[in-house]
Chains A and B, each alone.
Chain A
Amino acid sequence: MPTDLANDLLELTGEHLVLVLISMAVAMVLGVPAGILLTRRAAPRKWLLGFASVVQTIPSLALFGFLIPIPFIGGIGPRTVIVALVLYALLPIMRNTFVGIAGVDAAVCESAIAMGMSDWQLLRLVQLPLAAQTILAGIRIATVATIGTATIAAAIGGGGLGVFIFRGVASVDSTQILAGAVPAALMALLADGGLGWIERRLAPA
């Protein structure tokens, strides 16, 4: 393998990883509390889950296109990519947080309240531990999808492994396409396996 391809591979894999990590961190910081909020307030449930579902249906290339002209969050480069990736990752995280908590045995929650737990104690001591597995499953699904979608980032100058893929498509060079696709696929498999392992360890005792 020529050294410049190897160097590119290292650099672009690093960029890809950074895009995914930042996007997932932001999506978790927003998505988990949003999911918790949905279990506490019925009113925003419909529109928040609806909004996240609608975002999911927008093709990623189109979403990048929509975001470019928007001031502050748009433009060319990784920032726009991160905004788009966060929007995509929100639904699975938010929905699984909501479903996980809502699925905790009602008798268990009632006992907790009847024993004099505050809402915060109920959440922290009972609901989050019992929903952890479901919440993590949402994070895992979102991570795997984000790793794939992040390859489109190169279309708007966001870098990452997609650079190889777009370059390879433009020059009809399947080596370049594979140089982008294979590491992205491996990254997704590793994330899936690793998070899946943690998920199984979190199984309620």
Chain B
Amino acid sequence: MPLVEFRDVGYRVDGKTILSRLSFSVEAGETLVLLGRSGSGKTTALKMANGLLFPTSGEVLIEGRSTAEWNPIRLKRRIGYVIQEVGLFPHFTVAENIGLVPKLEGWSRPDRERRVAELLEKMGLAPADFLQRYPRQLSGGQRQRVGVARALAADPALLLFDEPFGALDPVTRRELQLQFLELGRNFHKTAIFVTHDVSEALRLGSRVGLLVEGRLETIAAPAEFRRAQTEEARAFLASLED
């Protein structure tokens, strides 16, 4: 059973079609990258995986159960979510930010502290230096690392990334991409990753899905995607050559 399955998903709002007939599945351990231009519906699709949005037709299954049937809070707590703006809580320290979901889930304080320290180490941030800092005392790259650590905190089954590295400088972005790959190898995590950057998509994805005006145009492993002949795929691939 795939971990995530989109079945003929459509989304219309105010008479406008955002997604139509979207079907794909994500197997445990793989990283599916949804690639597309702004407004192609990729963020909308991502938000359907953890029940921030619900399809207006079709259904999204997580672990075989429709998101409409899941308890909305239970579903979200099983899924880590990272967005471009990071959305760290400005009034919480780094430790409180990362430890939040474990706290909501009722972990004991020593368990939480151990987990937070472990995650900071993994993200390459020395716990002693960072635990007590506030988000405003971090650089953009550090903030995004803390955002990823926060998403990993309660050991979620699935991770969702919405252009997490889009606002970073190219050097930091590359560092975080490499770290992301390492995390994938070490934890065998399942992820859906949204981006408009084709090189990022090819680097990070075990498969790449190309969204065009709310439809899934191509979905293929990176090597195969590079050979795709559709107009939109070629337009994206052309940007690699510049």
Contact = CB atoms under 8 A, between A and B. Distances in A.
A114 B52 contact: yes
B6 interface: no
Contacts of B79: 114
A110 B83 contact: yes
Interface of chain A: mostly helix, strand, loop or mixed: helix
B90 A205 contact: yes
Contact of B101 (A110, A115, A118, A129): A115
Nearest to B81: A114
Interface stretch (B55-63, B70-78, B185-193): B70-78
Contacts of A111: 81, 83, 86-89
B104 interface: yes
Contact of B52 (A113, A118, A204): A113
A118 B73 contact: yes
Nearest to B77: A116
A168 B89 CA distance: 55
A126 B52 contact: no
A73 B134 CA distance: 49
B232 interface: no
A155 interface: no
Contacts of A116: 73-77, 101, 104
Contacts of B50: 114
A115 to B, nearest CB: 5
Contacts, number: 59
A126 B100 CA distance: 11
Contacts of B83: 107, 110-111, 114
B240 to A, nearest CB: 30
Nearest to A121: B104
B91 interface: yes
B85 interface: yes
Interface size class of B (residues with CB under 8 A): 20 to 34
A15 to B, nearest CB: 40
B104 A204 contact: no
Contacts of A110: 52, 83, 87
A110 B91 CA distance: 16
Interface size class of A (residues with CB under 8 A): 20 to 34
A176 B77 CA distance: 66
A205 B135 CA distance: 9
A109 B90 CA distance: 11
A105 B77 contact: no
A112 B76 contact: no
A117 interface: yes
Contacts of A118: 73
A130 interface: yes
B73 A108 contact: no
B213 to A, nearest CB: 24
Interface in A117-160: 117-118, 121, 125-126, 129-130
B188 to A, nearest CB: 22
A108 B134 contact: no
Contacts of B88: 108, 111
A115 B88 CA distance: 11
A107 B90 contact: no
A126 B89 contact: yes
Interface in A93-115: 105, 107-115
Given A114-B50, A116-B77, A205-B134, A107 B104 contact: no
Contacts of B76: 113-116
B90 A204 contact: yes
A113 B89 CA distance: 12
Contacts of A108: 87-90
Given A108-B87, A115-B100, A205-B91, 8 more contacts: A108-B88, A111-B86, A112-B89, A115-B101, A116-B74, A116-B77, A130-B90, A204-B90
